[in-house]
Structure 1
Amino acid sequence: MAQDYRELATTLRGRIDAGEFRQTGKLPTEDQLIEEYQTTRYRVRNAIAVLAEAGDVFPVRGSGVFVREDREGDYLSIGTTRGISAEYPHRKVTSVVQELSLLQADSVLAKRMHCAEGDQVWRVVRLRQVDGNPLAYETAWYLKEFVPFINEQIAEGSLFGYARNDLGLNFGFVDKVLYAGKLEADAARVLGLNEGDPALYLEDDSFLTNGRLFNSSFIAYHYVNARFFTMTSMR
């Protein structure tokens, strides 16, 4: 069911991006969407909640769900985790794999991954690009317990899409820590910047609906090419 409402949210976002609702300025009513997609009110409401959390729409009580005006440029959402491909739907997103290995967790990695020492963990290091321009240098770890297999072809695509759609994992929530720092030599080289240049770092831990952590990531974003967005309540 979780996958169903996220799929509907993706479909609606595609229609928003195509300008389908520009004339009315808002989405069809819940009843109209239920009829159109032959689905449940639960699925429609949860899909709209996903769009609202990402800042794509905003509900007005008694008036409907309004579409946000386009923001100039492309942004990564801080408040949601949809993956870079979903954040840049009209751009070419590619991943260049720098490393793919299967490790046995030492004490440090076991603590981060909430697993036992010796458990097997995939380590994936990638350069993420948008239209050929470097966006992020990402180091990610996946517990083999939940992600039994990764090869380079899979790593070149969307790993979250693979985990959700191919492995059937049910995503729960993500803890994010965002902070500024200076680039280390490896990240600077891959991003085409200089060691010591500024960077925005993101550390995130991704959990399944059962509360188990399955993925941790450490990402250095290109200080020129990456921009971020979040929408917050004024209440």
Structure 2
Amino acid sequence: MVTKQRGLAMELRKRIASGEFSVTNKLPTEDRLMERYGVSRYCVRGAIAELTAAGEVFPVCGSGVFVRERRDGNYLPLGTSYGISADFPGRRVTSEVRELALVRADARLALRMRCDEGDRVWRVVRLRRVDGLPISYETACYLKEFVPYIGEDVAGGSLYSYVHDDLGLRFGFVDKTVYLDRLDASAAGSLGLREGDPSICVEDDAFLSNGRLFNSSRSLYHSANARFYSAAPMR
């Protein structure tokens, strides 16, 4: 059900991005979504909850679910962790692989990955672009225990879709840390900026439904090409 729920959320996200609901700014009713996609009411409500958390829709009691005003530019939601490909539906998202290696965890990496020293870890370094604009310089690590294989073809696409849809991992939650950092030479050169320039850094620690960490990532974002937002209730 989690896979169907997230699949429905992504499908609705694409329809929203295409402007399909721009006339009324309102999503179809639960019954119509259930009929069209052949899913349960629980699945529909779960997908709507994900879109609400991402700040893309808002429910109005007794009236339905409405699409929020679209943001112009490259905005990424802080409240979700579906990957850049899902954050920009209908846009051209590309990944340029700068490094792909299977390494043994040293003391520092073992502490970050909550694994034993010597455990095998996939290290993937990528430059992410949206419509040709550099957005982030990403370093991601995956425990081989849970992700047995990552090739150039996989690393060049959506790793989120690969581990979720192809490997069938059951996601639990993500711990997210955001802070200001400075670009090192590799990140600066990839993003087309200068070494030492400021950058928003986002660190994600992703856990499975059983509470085991399987992925840790660190993304440095282009200071001019990326923006962030978070939907918060007023209570």
1:47 aligned residue: 47
1:8 aligned residue: 8
| Equivalenced residues, count | 235
Unaligned runs of 5+ in 1: none
* Equivalent runs, 1:42-191 vs 2, <5 Å: 42-191=42-191
Letter in 1 for 2:72: E
- Taking the aligned partners of 1:126 and 1:97, their CA distance within structure 2 comes to 4
Residues 28-81 of structure 1, C-alpha deviations (whole Å, 9 max, x = no match): 221222222222111000010011011111011122111112222231111101
Residues 82-122 of structure 1, C-alpha deviations (whole Å, 9 max, x = no match): 21111122221111111111111111111110111111100
Q: Is the CA contact 2:102–2:122 (under 8 Å) kept in the aligned structure 1? A: yes
1:222 aligned residue: 222
Residues 159-184 of structure 1, C-alpha deviations (whole Å, 9 max, x = no match): 11110111111111111100112111
3-state SS of 1:126 partner: strand
Unaligned runs of 5+ in 2: none
Give TM-score scaled by structure 2 length. 0.96
2:208 aligned residue: 208
Q: Cα distance, 1:25 vs. partner? A: 2.2
- % identity of equivalent residues: 62
Q: Cα distance, 1:136 vs. partner? A: 0.8
List, as ranges, runs of 4+ consecutive aligned residues in structure 1 with deviation greater than 6 Å: none
Q: Is the CA contact 2:14–2:90 (under 8 Å) kept in the aligned structure 1? A: no
Letter in 2 for 1:53: A
